[in-house]
Structure 1
Amino acid sequence: MTEGGRVSDIPTWTGFLVPLLAVLSDGNVWRRRDLYAAVADHMELTEEQRAESVSSGQSRVVSRIGWALSDLNRAELVAKPARATYVIADSGRAMLAMYPGGIDERVLKTIPAYRDYVPVGHAGAVSASKHEAPETSEAANPLEQIDIGVTRLHAEVAADLLARLRGQHPDFLEHSVLDVLVAMGYGGAEGRAARIGGSGDGGVDGIIDQDPLGLDRIYVQAKRYAAGNTVGRPEIQAFVGALHGVGAARGVFITTSAFTSGAREYAQNIGTRIILIDGQRLAELMIRYGVAVQTWQTFTVVEVDEDYFE
């Protein structure tokens, strides 16, 4: 432990924001590994600091640079021209000129792209976990610190999932939502689901059979919308009409954005059973049921076995 109870004297993730922009300001396209090394050199970090690791074994410097780079990308201050490569954006140059002495999360939150990237309902958790990191939080016990970290990680992944889904062709979303529903257990033991989206789909993008003969079915509509483009009552009414057209009494409407209050009220007050899943909920379900995500690391928490000492 260092003076003041801190685990490390390495700057927190916000301390790497300006150095990252400074290195990228040369206008070159940087590979991630080379960029990390250049930032450490720019900050004149010691060999001891570079050798520090967190409990998982990952370099503490790499971890913090990674979070800072992720947030710069989210704020669209840097761009990724290809996988694992980065280049500064014009907005990043402007931000560096405005805040050469340092950028914190309050500054990032003034950028619309940064605010919009965080799913509604997660922003508080993400912010809290960054400002109340385990090394500085005195109120949280170790298990609470783990929970804070997991919450933040899942919020970051959820935001990334939505951004990627919005960037794909609508057909990709239709396949993805069926994968989620099958992973949740719908589709029976055989996981029977079929995408029927496209021209002439009648307002239905997918069908999930709940039994081998297809006697009980769930109809699905998927809309790939940007964050600010909400789904309103007319879209839900159209979906209900499509369900009536095929003699269905229930369906699931999924979007990568959000539903208006009018859309939710209408869905709740009609005889047809309609389940609405917005972008936030969709991302949460993808994480919970392991769709488009993979387990990166697991931790084991132990406690003393009291029976052993009796």
Structure 2
Amino acid sequence: MNLISKRKLSEAVGWSESGGRRWINYFSDYIPQTKNGNSILYNEGSIRVLKIIKQLSESGLTQKEILKLIVEKGLPKDIYEVNEITKNVNSNPNDIPLSRDIMIPFLLVIRDKKPYTSSYINEELTKYFMLTEEQRSRSYENSKDSIFITRIRQVRYGLKKSNYIEEISQSTYQITQEGLSLINDNRNEIQEEIEDMEEVKDPFEVMTEKFDDIRKELAKSIIQKIKKAHWKKLEYIIVELLVAMGYGDGKITGKTNDGGIDGIIKEDKLGLDNIYLQAKRWDNPIGRELVQSFSGALDDMGAKKGVFITTSYFTKNAIEYAERLQSKKIVLIDGETLAKLMIDYDIGVNIKEKFFVKKIDFSYFDEE
């Protein structure tokens, strides 16, 4: 088939241009695409993939949940696999309520037109869905955010954006006349409105996701730069990093026969307690043998603390070996962690732009 634009791709799967564009951008790593000059074009395979993603979204899964599913299990091959996945999602009685299931109960909790705080609404919705403490507190992988509370937050933004609720003071909400009308509509009208609201996305959440993307790309660039720099540069980086983290004065050993010790950090002014460093600018994984050799170098120095940093990663055996050590402590820092720490402590990076997200000050408008 002929190559098509992002707008045509959205239309091909039944999404509006704006709605489709958001999903296409979010899953760009998984949707086949062709670069034609400055334009990105799509093909039949792109349509197939986006249709699968759309069906997953229609089951009630959020973008984050769909992405997690694809990362862990791969993209479903066909509509039958999608049906099996969504059947399991929707038929599991212990599952956490989906965003679309929360919208109307949210309005029912505050239908008496009284103002209610977000914490009160959260608790009432927990009771409404009869969630266990484990379900209520269950979080996304590698995140502290509760799945249930995150979904309530998404629903709250959609209801507010659609003028079904209003925020009358800080984190305090009240149903509007439009909200009362919605819960009295017939089932089909309510369903249509829920589907429209699912297209609404909190801009702050979008910014957070984009910030995470920028941070990941920056981390990749940092590691690439380190690998291209002179091998001694990594030694200077790790000393500068640990000093910036507050571990005391540091220095590069500057020796070729250093026994595997590349740098030393003095934890106190007199150097009574030192941390010894080793750096490996490698592409290959670091195995147990190298960590064990570093441990031996620490023994030769009479040291009890060491930090082993690499631009690659450590094998499972290497990590388990370091964790089992009793007489000393060796901290392993892989390339991904190194890059994140450099970003956090402003090593090798600078500020490109600052953005301030502001919210209304309700107290300013209160009468004295």
With normalisation by structure 2, the TM-score equals: 0.49
Q: Structure 1's 103 and 253: CA in aligned 2 closer, same or farther, altered over 3 A? A: farther
Contact 1:194-1:206 within 8 A present in 2 as well = yes
In the alignment, what sits opposite 2:266? 209
**2:317 matched to which residue of 1?**
262
| Counterpart residue number, 2:357 | 301
Q: Please give the residue correspondences for 1:282-301 in structure 2 after superposition, counting only pairs within 5 Å.
A: 282-301=338-357
Cα distance change on mapping 1:8 and 1:260 into 2, 3 Å: closer
2:276 maps to which residue?
A: 219
SS in 2 for 1:18: strand
Structure 1 window deviating more from structure 2 (296-305 vs 149-158): it is: 296-305
Change (3 A) 1:16 1:197: farther
Q: Does 1:185 align with 2:246?
A: yes
Whether the 8 Å CA contact 1:17–1:103 is kept in 2: the answer is no
How many pairs does the alignment contain?
202
What SS does structure 2 have at the residue aligned with 1:204?
coil
Extract structure 1 runs of 4+ deviating beyond 3 A.
Answer: 2-5, 11-17, 99-104, 137-140
Amino acid at match of 1:18: K
Aligned 8 A contact 1:171 1:197 in 2: no
Question: Which structure 2 residues correspond to residues 107-256 of structure 1 after superposition, within 5 A?
Answer: 138=199, 140-187=201-248, 192-226=249-283, 229-256=284-311
Q: Is the 8 A contact 2:281 2:312 kept in 1?
A: yes
User: Larger Rg: 1 or 2?
Assistant: 2
CA gap 1:159/1:308 in 2 versus in 1, 3 angstroms: same
Identify if the C-alpha distance between structure 1 residues 160 and 102 changes in structure 2 by more than 3 Å, giving closer, same or farther: farther
C-alpha distance in 2 between matches for 1:103 and 1:164: 35
Q: Which runs of 5+ in 2 are unaligned?
A: 1-6, 8-14, 50-66, 72-197
Residues 5/224 of structure 1: CA separation in 2 closer, same or farther (3 Å cut): same
Q: Does 1:18 align with 2:35?
A: yes
Looking at structure 2, the residues matched to 285 and 158 of structure 1 have their Cα atoms a distance apart, in angstroms, of 9
One-letter amino acid of the counterpart of residue 276, structure 1: L
- Cα distance change, pair 303–221 in 1 and its aligned pair in 2 (3 A): same
CA shift, 1:299, in A, is: 0.9
How large is the Cα RMSD of the aligned pairs?
3.4
Matched-pair contact (CA < 8 Å) for 1:18–1:102: no
Alignment of 1:273 onto 2:333: no
Determine the C-alpha separation between the residues in 2 that align with 1:258 and 1:163: 14
Superposition deviation, residue 202 in structure 1:
1.2
For 1:29, the equivalent position in structure 2 comes to none
Structure with the bigger percentage of helix: 2
Structure 1 portions without partners, runs of 5+? 21-38, 44-67, 69-98, 108-123, 129-136
- AA at the equivalent of 2:18: R
Q: CA deviation at 1:197?
A: 4.3
**Aligned 8 A contact 1:174 1:197 in 2:** no
Give the letter for the 2:312 counterpart. Answer: S
From the superposition, tell whether residues 308 and 207 of structure 1 become closer, same or farther in structure 2 (CA, over 3 Å). same
Question: Match for 2:280: what amino acid?
Answer: K
**Secondary structure class of the residue paired with 1:6:** helix
Q: Percent identity?
A: 38
How far apart, CA to CA, are the structure 1 residues paired with 2:348 and 2:200?
35
